[in-house]
Structure 1
Amino acid sequence: MMLSPGQPETLPLGQTGTETFLDPLNMECRSVPAELEDGEERARCVRVPALSREEKRRRRRATAKYRSAHATRERIRVVAFNVAFAELRKLLPTLPPDKKLSKIEILRLAICYISYLNHVLDV
């Protein structure tokens, strides 16, 4: 429903605002300044598609506060992950005992050690 700039907005029965027209179309109304011929500005309503759930999530994640909180959570997760590997490393027999192992080497050694312990129990 297009209205000329000077025409008052009339709505069908029971409708109270522009959003009632736009909801079925998944649209929202945003006011933007519109310059009139004599140089004055007046707000006019422009129909733009409402943001999808994914777009809203993307915009929320783009804020500095969100990124900072996410980075903090990630650092805490990585520290906990490294502590878990250090504890597992202490339980594995190696020569020399203080030998530095990568995470994949720790996991492979743990697999071998567990299968060895199962073999010992079966015998």
Structure 2
Amino acid sequence: MMLSGDHQESDLPWGHTDTLLDSLGAQCGSMPVGTHDGEAKVRSKEEKRRKRRATAKYRSAHATRERVRVVAFNVAFAELRKLLPTLPPDKKLSKIEILRLAICYISYLDHVLDI
């Protein structure tokens, strides 16, 4: 979560979950939430992860991976589109139309094999 410099996460209404969880734990008879030794480690790992993800280098690498994923996704749809019969053959179809047509075509081929 991105916060401006003048606000801390604990200033926000949902930032007080520890006290709520502590009171719930006391009511349920379980060990209070804030007393685990590993909790500080988890928080520091989360803080390190947030800081790492906030860097320009990380964001740039993530954007590059996402572009590669989207290109591969679009190539897969284009290949599937080439296999489907439509009139006219070069008709532009949306991704959902390609999927629905593929379902119908597979169903038709299954029916042909059953005859």
Both proteins in one fold, TM over 0.5: yes
Partner amino acid for 2:100?
R
Matches within 5 A, 1:7-86: 51-86=43-78
Partner amino acid for 2:61?
A
Q: Which runs of 5+ in 2 are unaligned?
A: 1-36
Using the aligned pairs only, state the percent identity. Answer: 85
Residue 52 of structure 1 aligns to a residue in which SS?
helix
Partner amino acid for 2:94?
S
Q: Specify the structure having the higher radius of gyration (Cα).
A: 1
CA RMSD of aligned residues (A): 2.2
- Determine which structure has the larger helix proportion and give its number: 2
* TM-score of the aligned structures, taking structure 1 as reference length: 0.59
Q: Which runs of 5+ in 1 are unaligned?
A: 1-23, 28-48
In 2, the alpha carbon distance for the partners of 1:63 and 1:76 equals 20
1:97 aligns with 2:94: no
Partner amino acid for 1:122?
D
